[in-house]
Structure 1
């Protein structure tokens, strides 16, 4: 007996709840108070003795998953929404960086301040994104997506922490003098003044110098790829489970 598409979709999103929300103690400490019965479905082993055979197990499993669907859908949407916002902040940072790198930013100090605000927002989203009191993006975790009724019908998705440090943007300050490595000579860089004019500087003189920011566009592009990859990983797992 196979579970229908609707039940499998429910199983998909419910698995996030199974992997992230299972510890009842954590929920009791941080989330609004709920009775023990509210979380009984998080571990089907509690009910195995009452299930007589494999066919009934599938029916029981589907019924229990349907009870968790609202919470599980909210968890998935919360995670996706946070990643989308982080990607939006990175796109804004890239635009501001490009303006500063080309020397067309009206006020480099003000542009640098705006970039820092976006960076702070990314860290805030990483730390504060929660569901039922559980922080979803504050540490690396594995989100198990159930794609069928059997124990092995699971797609495991490793979620990384999307903060300023893990995205490779620590010390990212476009109010500094922006320089780009010369493609023809990696030992040399071209730096841009506030008026848009450029001059050559040895990379060795730039590295570690707080006055300069070397190759910011490749760094922000790499950060965007990481954030997009996190969203794609989550979406791909969901799509596979819904087939």
Structure 2
């Protein structure tokens, strides 16, 4: 078993980072603004990357804030104990990150003009990244083998539940006007084209120079240098 876990509406969470009170609040009471942008992913699916892209778009390609303020402050996870207040107090337009499955997500978002961007990544790569991460931070009392952790991942015995249910739930939103999905692999293969598509969804306009700056400063090399 993982250390200090609890279940909320069928999904596992960490007592160290989450609470039932916060999950209930963000599901039912979180104050949504019409210009909010929600950066949604399953863990290890490009959350930081999309957060950088969205912040660069917000600042029209200017990397100053991205180079000086951590992404967890600029695009906080609002379901975390350390992230909720940051999210509520962000300057508008707010960029809010989350791994929350769709059935726990803030209900009022889809009654607003707020935008939701969902990034999907190949589950094989997600699993390997999660396995390495959990081994590094010692999420479990005992050291799970690769096969043992694979069984946990496939059956949803991990924080945020199964990749399969997470993706299935969010993809039911695909017909909604304020919902947009993109794959991690599309970002890898054509970052500039992906940025252009995101801009169109957000109904924002940048000139070619500004788009080039967004692409340059959200590339893997640029983000690695900023870590």
Fold equivalence (TM over 0.5) = no
Q: Which has the larger radius of gyration?
A: 1
Answer 1 or 2: which has greater helix percent: 1
Q: TM-score range by the shorter chain?
A: under 0.3
| Relative contact order higher in (CA < 8 Å, ≥ 6 apart) | 2
